[in-house]
Amino acid sequence: MKASQSNIEQKKIAFDVQAIRTQFPILSRKVNDQNLIYFDNAATAQKPQCVIDAISDYYSRYNANIHRGIHTLAEEATLAYEASRHAVQEFIGAAAVEEIIFSRGTTEGINLVAYTWGRQNIGPGDEILISGMEHHSNIVPWQILCQEKAAVLKVIPVLDNGELSMEDYRLLLTEKTKLVAIVQVSNALGTVNPVKEMIELAHQFGAKVLVDAAQSAVHLDINVQDLDCDFFAFSGHKLYAPTGIGVLYGKKQLLEQMPVFQGGGEMIKEVSFELTTYNDLPYKYEAGTPNIADTIALKTALDFIKSIGKDQIRKHENELLDYATAQLENIPELQIIGQAKEKVSLISFVLKNMHPHDVGVLLDHQGIALRTGHHCTQPLMKRFGIPGTIRASFALYNTKEEIDLLVAGLYKSIKMLS
């Protein structure tokens, strides 16, 4: 083993949550005179100092537009930007770097597919299959497309325990199914869906599959070739990178056949008033000056995750999930929504006769940040007959002591609200 490899191994063995916490400056701030406890990681994760520094370093040392200048700064910026694309390729196991398209986030990635592949391939009577636990951003673009093309949107039902009904999925798949757009990990329940199996089944009917990986990319090991998905979209900001940068992966052959999305600079080879020819992948889908600083910082975030090891992070987060589940189940007024066999470190719950919003406000007074409401999954909330949930989502820097404080905070809130 090379020395550098063994260093990485050593770092992985020594998972030290307190050492990790020191790398996140925001974790030392006070909220309402209390130490911040940040349990809203499914909405967006906090950023380590190295990511914050990467942004500032770019603007302080080599801010320049990419792919066009011949001066040193432009070359440095281009190299760093493209290095990020390679880092993403490795992170998700894509076969080719041209399959990595930078976007603003998951939402933009899904919309790109709907507006390009969707418009080209969906016609009257065709069916698009989504699930009952989709985030609005994996519902609305397909609804718009179906309305435009007289196509049909069908929904895989969710079982009481928060898992998908695979029995219904099998029945819903037909020759009419052209696309399955499915979330890998539910942002509202934490359920991990069996996407590999679902992709295999969809392909038997010739349907393409888009995976919404907004919540999964940070928690699960990802290999898009092994999954054999056709499209895979995620956001940087949920994996310790900045907001405003995301990734759309697509199989090269599909991306090559698809029409362009936005027109403008960078996505063209040659422009005349009569005819424009388009650029090669991935630039064909990256019109205009991109989000250079945040793309560069995305690589820093991926390197950060790699240096700790996804396996170590998952182990820690699973311990938090098990610990929190056991603690919360002890609270008589509390009901956990979503108890799938396979979950990530996210717990949604309701408290009897208490509005989630009121609980959220009281917890905020105690310095505890979590999300309450429908989590942009209104149809799912309707399925469970509730207006919303209280959601605690854990990241690598959270601790059992913080969970104890959440439990104490909940008892306090229950006392005040009942």
| Residues of the shown chain interacting with ligand 7TS in the complex, contacts defined by CB under 6 A | 42-43, 105-107, 135, 137-138, 183, 187, 212, 214-215, 235, 371, 375-376
- Report the nearest approach of ligand 7TS to the CB of residue 18 (Å): 27
Q: Which is nearer to ligand 7TS, 40 or 230 (CB)?
A: 40
Residue 229 among the catalytic residues: no
Q: What is the DSSP string of 149-200?
A: HT-EEEEE-B-TTS-B-HHHHHHH--TTEEEEEEESB-TTT-BBP-HHHHHH
- Report the nearest approach of ligand 7TS to the CB of residue 104 (Å): 7
Distance CA 218, CA 238 (A): 7
Q: Which is nearer to ligand 7TS, 245 or 414 (CB)?
A: 245
Neighbours of 230 (CB within 10 A): 24
- Report the nearest approach of ligand 7TS to the CB of residue 389 (Å): 11
Q: Taking a C-beta distance cutoff of 8 angstroms, is the pair 337, 384 a contact?
A: yes
Buried b / exposed e over 325-354, threshold 16 CB at 10 Å, is bebbeebebbbbbbbbeebbbbbbbbbeeb
Distance CA 145, CA 346 (A): 32
Distance CA 18, CA 338 (A): 30
Q: Which is nearer to ligand 7TS, 208 or 391 (CB)?
A: 391
3-state secondary structure 239-274: HCCCCCCEEEEECHHHHHHCCCCCCCCCCEEEECCC
Distance CA 25, CA 396 (A): 14
- Report the nearest approach of ligand 7TS to the CB of residue 132 (Å): 13
Q: 50, 146, 229, 376: which one is catalytic?
A: 376
- Report the nearest approach of ligand 7TS to the CB of residue 186 (Å): 7
Give the residue nearest to ligand 7TS (CB).
187
Distance CA 354, CA 273 (A): 63
Q: Which is nearer to ligand 7TS, 105 or 367 (CB)?
A: 105
One-letter amino acid at 17 equals V
Q: Which is nearer to ligand 7TS, 177 or 187 (CB)?
A: 187
Peptide bond into 282 cis (omega under 30): yes
- Report the nearest approach of ligand 7TS to the CB of residue 131 (Å): 11
One-letter amino acid at 300 equals T
Q: Which is nearer to ligand 7TS, 100 or 414 (CB)?
A: 100
- What are 27's two structure tokens? 């974790």
Q: Which is nearer to ligand 7TS, 309 or 387 (CB)?
A: 387
Q: What is the DSSP string of 86-151?
A: HHHHHHHT-S-GGGEEEESSHHHHHHHHIIIIIHHH--TT-EEEEETT--GGGTHHHHHHHHHHT-
- Report the nearest approach of ligand 7TS to the CB of residue 185 (Å): 7
Catalytic residues: 376
